[in-house]
Amino acid sequence: MSSFDSSRPVVLFALLDWGMGHATRTAPLIQFAVDQGWAVHVATKGTALAFLRTQFSPEAISFHTKPGPDITYAKRGTWMKIAAQVPEFLNSIRKETSWTAEFVARHGITHIVSDNCYGVHHPDIPCVLMSHQLQLPVPNAVAALANTFVNKHAAQFRSVWIPDDESVGLSGALTSHHQLPHAEYVGILSRLSPHAAQGNWRTVGMVSGPEPHRKLMELALLRWMKGIPGPCLLIAGRPGDEVEVNDHVTVWPDPSAEDLAGALRGAETIVCRSGYSSLLDLAALGQRAILVPTPGQPEQLLLARHWAQTFGMATCTQHELESGLVPVVSGSPAQLEPNTKAQQALLDLVLNA
């Protein structure tokens, strides 16, 4: 245990900041920790940090900027651009480990939940890695190397939590054949309630992901929505901006979880990325959507294909969206209860360590 041994748990949540997905799915666990009366620290940066600051009171949580790579994306050929940044990513893991050692000592951290931050662990306290990326979607020529990389870093944690239901398999091949004996499925995570009052929006588009693709999707959805019957709602993913209304199209930059859940529950058509956190929200609400993978991101392409084959979901490319060639919504995921199992896993980690 830390030298700051205390009867009150002090929990660090460290989150990857590539867009807001890791922040939105970890939010229910952060709230649960606050509700338990634990001391809570949250460490990330960029959009994820900005988003979480809008969701939680600074009196309840201590926010921190964590070191991490500033991954950049191209309009096309994103996969090759990411591959070129691998050395920086590996170096950032080493920086995370050094940062964590200092942070644990300074703040008396007793437990760590790391959402896809491979370097945030400490040998003297219970640490878990939360990830749905246990088998990286890489070319076959480097698949063995990628698996070795994941297994090596995952071994530094007491447990690996997979935010999925094993019997349903929302994450598909990303987790279905993992080789980690200490991994466990902890059910889906979502901040959206299936009991929220339904809104009156006919079409809802959800923009997510890093730039420049967030902006490209926003512009494409706006053009498409202006040409279809309303009322239409665009969730822009721009924390801190103002609501905009243009004829039958309304833009919400950063709605509350309750407002977002209600809008999605009442919509006839939903268009969103096939990012995993967006898919978890759909499963929590039992809603179908037209899935638009981010160009050049193999994980989102894999998930879109998996959901099309398994749940009959409609998909389209970003180019098709930009051209207005949006398919008719179809299919339906299984509706799953969110958060309960993962919250119990967190309680067990902290109280039975």
Of 71-80, 149-158, 271-280, the poorest mean pLDDT is in 71-80
154 and 253 belong to one structural domain: no
45 and 77 belong to one structural domain: yes
Can you give the pTM of this predicted structure? 0.91
pLDDT for 77 beyond 80: no
155 and 247 belong to one structural domain: no
**pLDDT grade for 3, boundaries at 50, 70 and 90:** very low
**pLDDT grade for 76, boundaries at 50, 70 and 90:** low
**pLDDT grade for 5, boundaries at 50, 70 and 90:** very low
23 and 159 belong to one structural domain: yes
Number of domains in the chain: 2
Q: Where in the sequence is the domain holding 299, given as residue range(s)?
A: 203-322
250 and 227 belong to one structural domain: yes
**pLDDT grade for 57, boundaries at 50, 70 and 90:** confident
23 and 105 belong to one structural domain: yes
- Please report the pLDDT score of residue 353 as a whole number: 66
At 202, phi and psi to the nearest 5? Answer: -75, -40
- Please report the pLDDT score of residue 2 as a whole number: 40
1 located within any domain: no
328 located within any domain: no
87 located within any domain: yes
Q: What average pLDDT score do residues 70-90 get?
A: 57
Higher-pLDDT residue of 81 and 194 is 194
26 and 76 belong to one structural domain: yes
Of 39-48, 142-151, 270-279, the poorest mean pLDDT is in 142-151
56 located within any domain: yes
- Please report the pLDDT score of residue 75 as a whole number: 56
Render pLDDT for 113-139 as a digit per residue (tens, 0 to 9): 999 999 999 999 999 999 999 998 887
43 and 149 belong to one structural domain: yes
43 and 83 belong to one structural domain: yes
**Cα–Cα distance between 311 and 229 in angstroms, integer?**
27
**Cα–Cα distance between 29 and 346 in angstroms, integer?**
8
327 located within any domain: no
CATH number of the domain bearing residue 154: 3.40.50.2000
160 located within any domain: yes
- Please report the pLDDT score of residue 91 as a whole number: 82
213 and 169 belong to one structural domain: no
DSSP string, 167-234: TT-TTGGGTTT---TTEEE-----S--TTSPP---SEEEE--SSTTHHHHHHHHHHHHHHTS-S-EEE
pLDDT for 275 beyond 80: yes
5 located within any domain: no
16 located within any domain: yes
94 and 52 belong to one structural domain: yes
343 and 306 belong to one structural domain: no
Higher-pLDDT residue of 82 and 93 is 93
pLDDT for 21 beyond 90: no
pLDDT for 72 beyond 70: no
- Please report the pLDDT score of residue 345 as a whole number: 98
